[in-house]
Amino acid sequence: MQQFSSHNANLIFDDLIINYHIIDAIDQDFNNPYKDRLDLLLYQKCWIDTVQWHVEDLVRDPDIEAQKGIQYKRLIDRLNQQRTDKVEQLDDYFLEIYKNTSVVESAKVNTESPAWAIDRLSILALKIYHMKIEALRTDIDEAKKALCTQKLNILLEQRVDLSTSIDDLLEDIAAGTKKMKVYRQLKMYNDPQLNPILYNKK
């Protein structure tokens, strides 16, 4: 199985975001150019995040029609579930890689699984892409451009730190000094048997 590299993941995320903005439509066709299981999952994950990013923009239009707003809100709910499902598929991938790793007695559990850290890396790629656009705008004053540039530099520094942390975590898991342990999200609001608004409709 393919080993994860944050450098490779960032390249995939950046590539996808550029490809999305060629058409720049939430209902455009999805084409995944990758065949390797890990790269394919990373591309799918970032696609979901990218579509949701733009739906979140659309739903905040103060002049939006009520029915359209409801449609976007329900789409966001579906995308959130898809995002969670994809993260859990990524964690399943890592569980398979490290299932035979010998774990030392003093090994600790990380605050989040590798895939949920990668989830943040994907969203960070979107923040960087869009903050670059804001920093390069010609219709705002220099003070606003400077503020956007400052924010962009923080985001870029954050990506370096997060990328390093994810790579370090996976190295620790491979060495058995950190435990590969995953908790499912067990979301209740999408489950018709656990959301009282839904099961009381029956």
Domain boundaries, the chain: 6-199
Quote the mean pLDDT of the chain: 94
pLDDT value at position 193? Answer: 78
pLDDT value at position 63? Answer: 97
pLDDT tens for 5-59 read 999 999 999 999 999 999 999 999 999 999 999 999 999 999 999 999 999 999 9
Angle made by CA atoms 15, 19, 25, in degrees to the nearest 5 = 140
Of 91, 60, 84, 86, the C-alpha closest to 190 is 84
Q: In this model, does residue 120 exceed pLDDT 70? A: yes
pLDDT value at position 199? Answer: 79
Q: Is there a contact between 127 and 159 (Cβ–Cβ < 8 Å)?
A: no
Q: In this model, does residue 198 exceed pLDDT 80? A: no
Place of tokens 């959301």: 195
pLDDT tens for 135-172 read 999 999 999 999 999 999 999 999 999 999 999 999 99
With the CA atoms of 131, 139, 25 and 160 taken in that order, what torsion angle do they form, in degrees rounded to the nearest 10? -10
Q: Is there a contact between 16 and 68 (Cβ–Cβ < 8 Å)?
A: no
Confidence of residue 197 (pLDDT cuts 50, 70, 90): low
Q: In this model, does residue 194 exceed pLDDT 90? A: no
